Structure 1
């Protein structure tokens, strides 16, 4: 079956402008992830949370909402105006951040984490789908990595600004208790993030929906889309499993690094915000850019299957880095964590690039949504809680580092194995009629 040619990619200036706005959107979205990770200990003290409840907030509530809504939202992305969906998603994200700031109970925190999980399931696949229609295949790997750069920048900014502002506000409230109108510092930071995102609404409204490229079939019926997706199972099933185990390993670092620093190394958020933001920023950006460049080199050498070669190498490298939480000193902890986050960014970037290159447009959103579903429901939703439970089984909160390594190390090895299987599957499938 030959592909149906698209009406043409937008001109370069328009594509770059849209890419910049989408990267900025990734920046704002990622602030939520790092703000919650950074501020989870102050939230725990303020609301008397247990580690199990932290795992529920960080993983289960967010991850289940993220995952369970991803497939229907992915199908919506394939058939609706994606730019309008992004606008709606941003508005709901702002409401979720503000709602978290004023939450008075664990139940309300869970409700807003669920809302934010749904928003992530909408915005990330929609943005990646738009990027795939802004740039041709030979430029798509690098363009996709720029969205990941925006996410990494947002994570670093959330840590740096959040940590420094948290300590500053805490000091100010000591002398002026009524300064924030009764809001705790962590609540004020969530509210500030929601207000800042207003600046993104106008440019997002001005971006036109790009024409869809690389179509294989004209039908958009759900039954036909599911049959078409099943045809790519030799590639997609092992890839989704590889991405799942990568997500489990990444969650171990992203969620629990801050509690380890506070509990085992006795640091306050302000004391490690500077270097942790730099570690997150450099690890995420270098990893995203390396993933994009590596995927393109792999594509040139091995076609659409070759993009996964660097992901296999990165997954293997993550295995020994899983012991970062057991580092005796902060410098070694920081170095291993930086490399761990960089490898996570490499695999995450290459995974979505592989989907955009190997799956046709009319089911691309569904494929991306399925990836989100598997990684979120079985990774994001379970890994933080699994580490908390393993820590308790090993002897309590003092065993958190051992629990992190116990979950992350085997997950990294399994990810590398499934990347190899996905490469083999990609050679047997792919977009019919499309060039490598």
Structure 2
């Protein structure tokens, strides 16, 4: 008798539910960006303090706990860890709406990070279990569309609610919605049964062994640090560009929050979603013949991302800026499918969640931990010279990190080929 996990259409159901959860993952992160100005005004926070809340507070436990929770998922069940994590981060998101000062909001964001730490790496591994290698980059790219969809939904929904009620209600609304999704996820998604036998048992029980395996592979470090540089710029821009756009175009009234949300949300939904999916399609197409394309494609995208972001942020017309910014918003997350698929092939099959977890540890410590804070701190330092425009100048400087990411990706081509581990399934 055919089990649920063996039915032809079931991998699609799993992927759809993982995409929904991942969308909430980034919705809960990005809602802070569109609410930057009202939160800063209400709680009397400067750019450096808000950057610490948006990035460092979230990243501290999110990054560190990613590896042990990924290992737990390999041992005790990916679905359980993902659903439990969704409940935790959604509950803390709702609590953010009750914060009355810097430290309270900082601690609640720590809690959001604790929850979200258990969501992504097990999802990567679950996708790898259900999709063969020739379709894996595309499946990971579809999952990665949760990033732009969540970011876009966050600015749209957060801006709309805050423009009509207040920023506190926005947090509570999206937090409660996430909690309601968890039981539906548990009902529909099951882990794929593992093969039985001594080899499978030994490998599943030693997921921690992935760390010394990856430690010796130059491709892993080049990709992890390169993607980390991209994420430093990307997460910083995700937090601060809504405020930059609002100040630059004079959209600073409460009623303008939805205008800013519409501007940013449409960019992220149209550009970001198409870019992430395109990355997976191109990697699956060209990577069959040459593994180098798994990193060559993101490197080319990053080379284009840096200058187009700079031009878009300097453009005086909001209409022209939208069309220019559509390009880097499509390209700056194109790396998700190809590089994550490549990283999973630097370790044995049954260590996939552990490999993803260690990759996310590096990526998020750099991206989330430093990106928003660094851009905010740079803005504070430039305030005396550039005044209200200091945040925009800080962002223009920071996008140079995409060029560093591109250089590291090109350097990873040869070691990736040498370190590639063929799938065992």
- TM (norm. structure 2) is 0.90
2:25 maps to 29
Moved over 6 A (4+): none
How many correspondences in the alignment?
A: 411
Distance in 1 of aligned mates of 2:246 and 2:364: 27
Structure-2 separation of matches of 1:432 and 1:27: 30
Aligned with 2:191: secondary structure?
A: coil
1:221 matches 2:206: yes
Contact 1:249–1:322 at 8 Å: present in 2 too?
Answer: no
* One of 209, 217, 221 as aligned partner of 2:191: 209
Asked if 1:197 corresponds to 2:178, the answer is yes
Distance in 2 (CA, whole Å) between partners of 1:316 and 1:240 is 17
Instruction: Determine helix, strand or coil for the equivalent of 2:332.
Output: helix
Residues 349 and 423 in structure 2, CA contact (< 8 A), matched pair in contact too: no
Q: Matches of 1:247 and 1:216 in 2, distance apart?
A: 35
Displacement of 1:234: 2.2
Q: Residues 20 and 432 of structure 1: is their aligned pair in 2 closer, same or farther, counting only changes over 3 Å?
A: closer
Deviation at 1:92, TM superposition (A): 0.2
1:276 aligns to what?
264
1:145 aligns with 2:133: no
- Aligned-partner Cα distance in 1 for 2:207–2:338: 27
Question: Which stretch of the first structure deviates more once superposed, 258-267 or 70-79?
Answer: 70-79
Partners of 1:51 and 1:433 in 2: CA distance: 46
8 Å Cα contact 2:207/2:350 also seen in 1? no
What's the CA shift for 1:433?
6.8
TM-score by length of 1: 0.88
Distance 1:217 1:397, change over 3 A: farther
The answer for the alignment partner of 1:337 in structure 2 is 325
Separation in structure 2 between the aligned mates of residue 414 and residue 391 of structure 1, nearest angstrom = 21
In structure 2, do the counterparts of structure 1 residues 230 and 30 end up closer, same or farther at CA, with 3 Å as the change threshold?
same
Q: Which runs of 5+ in 2 are unaligned?
A: none
Is the CA contact 2:210–2:347 (under 8 Å) kept in the aligned structure 1? no
Residue 217 (structure 1) shift: 8.5
Residues 47 and 379 in structure 2, CA contact (< 8 A), matched pair in contact too: no
Structure 1 position 202, deviation (Å): 2.6
Alpha-carbon contact 2:161-2:167 (below 8 Å) kept: no
Aligned-pair RMSD on alpha carbons? 2.3
- CA–CA distance in 2 between the matches of 1:201 and 1:392? 40
Decide which of 119, 126, 133 is 2:122's aligned counterpart: 126
Q: Tell me if the contact between 1:253 and 1:341 (Cα under 8 Å) persists in the aligned partners.
A: no
Q: Which residue number in structure 1 is paired with residue 85 of structure 2?
A: 89
Pairing of 1:96-107 with structure 2 (within 5 A): 96-107=92-103
Please tell me whether residue 230 in structure 1 is matched to residue 215 in structure 2.
Answer: yes
Gaps of 5+ in 1: 1-6, 170-184
What's the counterpart of residue 246 of structure 1? 230
1:412 maps to which residue? Answer: 402
Q: Does 1:299 align with 2:287?
A: yes
Aligned to 1:321: 308
